[in-house]
Amino acid sequence: MEQLIDRREALRKTALLMGAAVSASALAGIMQGCKATPELTYTPSFFTEEQARIMSELAQTIIPKTNTPGAKEAGVPGFIDQILKECYKKEDQDKFIAGLTEFEAAAKAEHGDSFIYLDAEKQLAFVKAQNEAAVNAVKADPSQPRPFILSAKELTLLGFFTSEPGATQVLQYEAVPGSYKGCIPLTEAGNGKTWAT
């Protein structure tokens, strides 16, 4: 039976055979290419593929899969892509992309790697730190522009809670609000107040 080895093991054995002639930086560069790129669950129309992957991982970090679907499973990244393309002004689109670019640069500066390649624990810690800094900045000066992480969270939550899984599995949902009761006392029908919906 043929024994299969992974790419890392093959590189390690090759380096040993070459007498460790492969430089550490060259080997590190090759090893960077060995990381599995997170799958995209939609075809982006606004984001580039790289931006879409970062936004997908960020949304999944904000709303991870538990006993209910996470942001990716609920289609949130595609929702964000679509709402940015179809509903945001060019100026606001540019601000969002600039914020996403800064977010990715900060992840690389802090962890030496793209946000999409960090393990879930590091992603969560990084997002929490970014969120805390943004909240503190807004508290200190409410007149400043809304930080990227808060806009991303807002769109993620909006996308999730308006999706079918978010609306039906997390929130209470009634397809038709209330049942028809033709003859009941006024006190049981809201004391004459009109329904909000």
Task: Provide the b/e sequence for 41-61 (b: ≥16 CB within 10 Å).
Answer: bbebebbeeebbbbbbbbbbb
Place of tokens 């595609």: 78
83 shares its domain with 166: yes
In this structure, are 95 and 154 located in the same domain?
yes
CB 74 within 8 A of CB 160: yes
Crossing angle of the two packed helices 76-87 and 49-62, in degrees rounded to 10: 120
Same domain, 18 and 45: no
Residues 13-44: tens digit of each pLDDT? 555 555 544 445 444 444 454 556 677 888 99
User: Is the residue at 3 inside a domain?
Assistant: yes
Q: Compute the distance between CA of residue 151 and CA of residue 145 in angstroms, rounded to an integer.
A: 10
The pTM of the full predicted model, rounded to 2 decimals, is 0.71
Q: Are residues 12 and 48 in the same domain?
A: no
Rounded to whole angstroms, how far apart are CA atoms 57 and 71? 9
Domain that holds residue 27: 1-34
Residue 54 has pLDDT above 80, yes or no: yes
Domain count, the chain: 2
